[in-house]
A = this chain, B = another copy of it.
Amino acid sequence: MILTVTLNPALDMTWHVDALTPGATHRAPTGSSRAGGKGVNVARVLHAQGHEVLALSTVGGANGAEFETELRASGIPHRLIRVSAATRRSLAIVDDTRGETTVLNERGTALAPVQVATLAATAARLGHTARAVALSGSLPPGFGPEQLGALVAELVGAGTPVVVDTSGAGLLAAARAGATALKPNSEELAEVTGERDPLVGARQLLTLGAQLVMVTLGRDGLLVLDRMHAPLHAGLPRTLHGNPTGAGDAAVAAITAVLATGIRLGGDSAESARAREDLARRGTAWSASAVLMPHAGELSPEHAVLEAEVTVQPIEEDLS
């Protein structure tokens, strides 16, 4: 079983308008609401690809009830911890004329300390029986970077591979805790390292303790770095247009699926080298095929075709 942990879930609402004009009144068809948050999106992708998955999250309030109803209907196995703070909402307003999406994310309400402890203990307990764990998304108020770091260290110490996709202080804490893999995008990486060059920034996270870093670069593909080998760059020869929300989650799903096979990505064997290449290829193809879909957590059926189109190249660095 692959465990996905969504510390800061959201009820994801999507509304379509003809054209979004600030200050104007718009009529919109009935919108859709789905259980969301990055970890839930990762679970959706893995579940749809046939992986045995368990989505752990919190729920609270009326939004939480709607979150739970939708998650149950989706068929994704889940474990929900009831909290007093209402589940926050996230709204995607899709401008059907410009093909542009405007996103509003509620910050959410702080978790009570006892609920933070329950959430961390449940994640640790379930993680010990998992083949791999994905910890995705922002930290809710009340759940600090030090608590994230402790959870990552406990799981990695017990031998469970852990992929972390978060930003800010949580990303640094996960690196220091020795996360098996980190998946920042280039902006998140630049923000925490102060480096515009993603290769330099990713090396900082490896130096802090991360075992592998995948940096997603939007239309420019992605980078895969570990401590011992030349970085890999993967990309598609053509640009796909669509909804970028959820592309990073698809990349996390790809890393987690590869790690769940038990392969050690940082090794020197031919098998390890092939696994790193496979990871770069699949991460790129899954990200790209997520862009083609209207909702986060879905892959276009073209992902297998796209995987064959991906080019993976080692980057020869000038180390002089």
Contacts and interface: CB of A to CB of B under 8 A. Distances in A.
Nearest to A65: B62
A103 interface: yes
B28 A104 contact: yes
Nearest to A19: B22
B23 A22 contact: no
A24 interface: yes
A313 B18 CA distance: 42
Given A30-B108, A86-B30, A109-B30, A103 B25 contact: yes
A66 interface: yes
Nearest to A109: B30
Given A28-B107, A30-B108, A62-B65, A23 B102 contact: yes
Nearest to A23: B100
B30 A88 contact: yes
A252 to B, nearest CB: 18
Contacts of A88: 30
- Of all A-B residue pairs in the complex, the 9 with the closest CB atoms, nearest first, are A25-B103, A23-B100, A62-B66, A26-B104, A20-B22, A22-B102, A28-B104, A30-B106, A27-B105
14 contacts: A15-B91, A20-B102, A22-B98, A23-B95, A24-B103, A25-B103, A26-B104, A28-B105, A29-B106, A30-B86, A62-B65, A62-B66, A62-B69, A91-B91
